[in-house]
A and B are shown apart, each in its own frame.
Chain A
């Protein structure tokens, strides 16, 4: 690939956002802005495909590096601009490309403050891509935090229900985690013998990363504490029980496209962080390693899966239901990471690969689910499940794709969710049989709440009263072609990965093997 591809990919959406903010004028500005924003995300998608395809699997390692050494040339905090892609980040970058495009199409019906809306949506995409591609801790942190401003605005201004409350809750939770993470980063940097912020080793450029240096270093504060700082920051974002409570509020009140981005890629920043930092840095640290807490992590994961599942069953709001199901499904990611085992000999790369794949599949499946809820809500103006019923006859396309998302979510074989979850189970069961066994019930719960919701909303009889009025019910229309573009974009990977998982797992495996020392 060409030089600067990664930087161009990351900053393209932001650059377009600024142009849109400054230049689109006149009566047709709103329409122009929509098309420009969609164009920008489509180009970004093409670039992410280039990155994914262009990543040389035979060669492995970190590739396409953009490196500017003296970004912050102060010895007290020497930070470099390093953008690079490896097996761990390549699929997630692709996922961001897909979802960014889907989100901008799904925003077609935004009517108020269009200019600002697309500005923030595009900046959000830049932030997420930046998180996945930055290989300098400070740069990573900046992108990780930068995502807050667009998200806050998107939820608070275009949300429904109690948008400002939900947006603020989201920001406060993430900021609290971010503050801890920053302390962890600075503590790593000032440790004698580390004194670098590089997250990986890139021999060609003479960059030695923290994973390599940390084993020999005496950390200024205990490794367990630094691990904990990062873990809490990512646990909030993932989210794990008991720090998940921002997620249902944020999702329920966010506009559709923002929910898609939030569930689809923002949560993955946490999973990525756990793999890259918590797993990557803390395998050989003095006094404490990730192996020491693999057991508690498995238990925590099982609790999250089951707790999330049980709460989900009780939900009557479609969006809230899917939001809680995310808590359950993202628990599998941590369960897969727990496959690192209590010692090096125990480690199951399969479980870790499952965790990585679960991130990708959850992104597409839950993204699709939120999209379908949004389409249904646009038409019925309610998400209250008892008020709905019999929508199948009026909106067959929406019902079908909703069903696909549901089947993916409950782990139907031949769809991508199945592959990821079976990998996690097979990888982790031999190491943590009890936790895995308990977590497996999450799948049963998923089948329950998903099918039950689909059955109530789309099939069955129309509730007599209260329910949709005759005018609304008779006037229901199925999805239009503009609506279907993002739907297809998200549904396709679910089928493809379902039957051909190695297209993604091969790449993830390169990344996982590099992270495992």
Chain B
């Protein structure tokens, strides 16, 4: 039986799903896509308020806590991500206002928005889930709408992009389920906390990571399954193709929301189910390797790209690597309890900063390419003369992705690399710094095109107002997080305080 408590705890997710249904209904009665967008944007206030309510307890005492027989939990960790996801969704909806009203989209505009909202519902469930089956269901709810979104244009390229995403998503889910099955077989439970208790009493083999090869295999499978969503090497093959083929707002949404949710659930699983100090050391090494490979491969492949969306695709792979550095930074000698979460705290800060920065970049690209129809890097030539505002925002975003002081990209990198040093992972910090230099090459190439090259076509670009607003808001968000890192870090500390590890 669902109790009132359950409703409260799930209120953000429920309101998000309801909003998606409302959007579908509104789409039936109006042909105006502007109204659909407006309804969605206004409606997003509901899950936002309900999320903040659970954090601050505005309406009486809803007492956030476990719900639905302990399968989901509205704790600070999930609320932190709920807030981030809702913000990202608002940005995406705002930035696609004009896009869904365009000629080739106006018949599916309502569906587009509804699919985004359904997918976010899945992500919100994903970050709240504390039990393996729920995690899996939420994951599928997240992925399937995205398949439709990627293919929504029904062109050859779009369908290929959607199919690719679908097939790889299915394979990764299968691998993930294998991993879950092993864990269930070993511990007889799907609840993360119970798993931790049972794992700690299992007999262990000395010298084998995670105590036994079976658990090791399970962990590798779980990480591989989520690696697809986080878009880390070697599970990144789909990223550039899907980003290039899918509509740009979808790519923006994928690169931020989907990635954040995946990182969130991985952190929850690792810190809860595998939160024993000994086990943490083992998965820390695994993530360190993935981080190093992701950063390096992503950056090296990005260098040779000539399409801005593909370039950004590889850039998000590299960025995922930097976030993984934070995840991997588990101090060996738990210096006091407070040092333990530093790496994870850095990862949350990096994720939030990255979300705003990457959205700003993608939105600026949307505003530009929707006018020029040219998504090559040469298409950016002389942009500063054609649209000073968009060009400045894009340059700012790219500098932040690159990690130039004083942007949030720099602050987050310093925190993450500092955590790595603190966790005796100096080699990883060094690889990270070297990668920053490699990345400078291709980010600066785009910036050079924007600022110094002469445009082939000098006509001014007037961005659509909603996209401009979305870009500005995202850029301002990134700027604020850069100057005031404590805003996120304090919340992150509070969010992470619930994780037993």
Q: Which residues of A contact B (CB under 8 A)?
A: 21, 70-77, 115-116, 138, 141-143, 145-146, 148-149, 153, 156-157, 164, 179, 182-183, 186, 189-190
Contact = CB atoms under 8 A, between A and B. Distances in A.
Contacts of A73: 486, 489-490, 493
Contacts of B484: 71
Scoring B404, B418, B437 by chain A CB atoms within 10 A of each residue's CB, the highest score goes to: B418
B414 A138 contact: yes
B405 A72 contact: no
Given A146-B405, A146-B406, A156-B452, A76 B411 contact: no
Given A72-B489, A73-B493, A143-B405, 11 more contacts: A71-B484, A71-B486, A74-B346, A76-B329, A77-B422, A142-B405, A142-B406, A146-B405, A148-B404, A179-B437, A190-B418
B414 A77 contact: yes
B421 interface: yes
Interface stretch (B30-38, B184-192, B336-344, B375-383): B336-344
A154 to B, nearest CB: 12
A115 B392 CA distance: 13
17 contacts: A70-B490, A74-B346, A74-B418, A75-B339, A75-B422, A76-B415, A76-B418, A77-B415, A142-B406, A142-B410, A143-B405, A143-B406, A145-B404, A156-B452, A182-B414, A189-B418, A190-B421
Contacts of A72: 411, 415, 485-486, 489
Interface of B: 329, 336, 338-339, 342-343, 345-346, 349, 388, 392, 399, 404-406, 410-411, 414-415, 417-419, 421-423, 429, 433, 437, 451-452, 484-486, 489-490, 493
B405 A75 contact: no
A369 to B, nearest CB: 30
A138 B418 CA distance: 12
Chain B at the A interface: SS class: helix
Contacts of A179: 433, 437
Contact of B418 (A21, A77, A153): A77
B493 to A, nearest CB: 7
Contacts of B336: 75
B408 to A, nearest CB: 12
A149 B399 contact: yes
A182 B415 CA distance: 12
Nearest to A119: B392
A191 B339 CA distance: 15
Contact of B342 (A74, A141, A146, A156): A74
Contacts of B406: 142-143, 146
B348 to A, nearest CB: 10
Contact of A76 (B392, B399, B422, B490): B422
A76 B415 CA distance: 7
A76 B405 contact: no
B462 to A, nearest CB: 15
B405 A145 contact: yes
A76 B485 contact: no
A130 to B, nearest CB: 9
Nearest to A72: B485
B419 A76 contact: yes
Main secondary structure of the interface of A (DSSP, over half): helix
Contacts, number: 81
Contacts of A189: 418
Top 9 nearest A-B pairs by Cβ distance?
A: A77-B418, A76-B342, A76-B419, A76-B422, A145-B405, A142-B405, A142-B406, A76-B418, A75-B339
Contacts of A75: 336, 338-339, 342, 422
B404 A149 contact: yes
Contacts of B339: 75-76
B352 to A, nearest CB: 14
Contacts of B342: 74-77
Nearest to B384: A116
Contacts of B405: 141-143, 145-146
Contacts of B493: 73-74
Contact of B422 (A70, A145, A146, A190): A190
Contacts of A182: 414, 433
A148 B406 CA distance: 11
A95 to B, nearest CB: 23
Contact of A186 (B345, B417, B489): B417
Contacts of B485: 71-72
A186 B486 contact: no
A172 B489 CA distance: 32
A156 B453 CA distance: 12
B460 to A, nearest CB: 14
Nearest to B437: A179
A75 B451 CA distance: 39
A189 B429 CA distance: 15
B333 to A, nearest CB: 11
A75 B337 CA distance: 10
A142 B422 CA distance: 21
A388 to B, nearest CB: 32
A193 B404 CA distance: 30
A142 B414 CA distance: 11
Nearest to A127: B406
A142 B410 CA distance: 9
A19 to B, nearest CB: 14
Contacts of A190: 418, 421-422
Contacts of B489: 72-74
Nearest to A190: B421
A148 B433 CA distance: 18
Contacts of A157: 451-452
B433 A74 contact: no
A145 B392 CA distance: 19
A138 B405 CA distance: 10
A355 to B, nearest CB: 28
Contacts of B418: 74, 76-77, 186, 189-190
Contact of A77 (B388, B419, B423, B437): B419
A157 B451 CA distance: 9
B403 to A, nearest CB: 10
Contacts of B329: 76
Contacts of B349: 74
B452 A164 contact: yes
A115 B346 CA distance: 37
A149 B443 CA distance: 14
Contacts of A145: 404-405
A21 B393 CA distance: 12
Nearest to A189: B418
A77 B489 CA distance: 12
Contacts of A143: 405-406
Contacts of A183: 433
A179 B405 CA distance: 12
A189 B420 CA distance: 13
Nearest to B433: A179
Q: Which of B338, B345, B422 has the most chain A CB within a 10 Å cutoff?
A: B422
Nearest to B482: A142
A157 B453 CA distance: 11
A74 B345 contact: yes
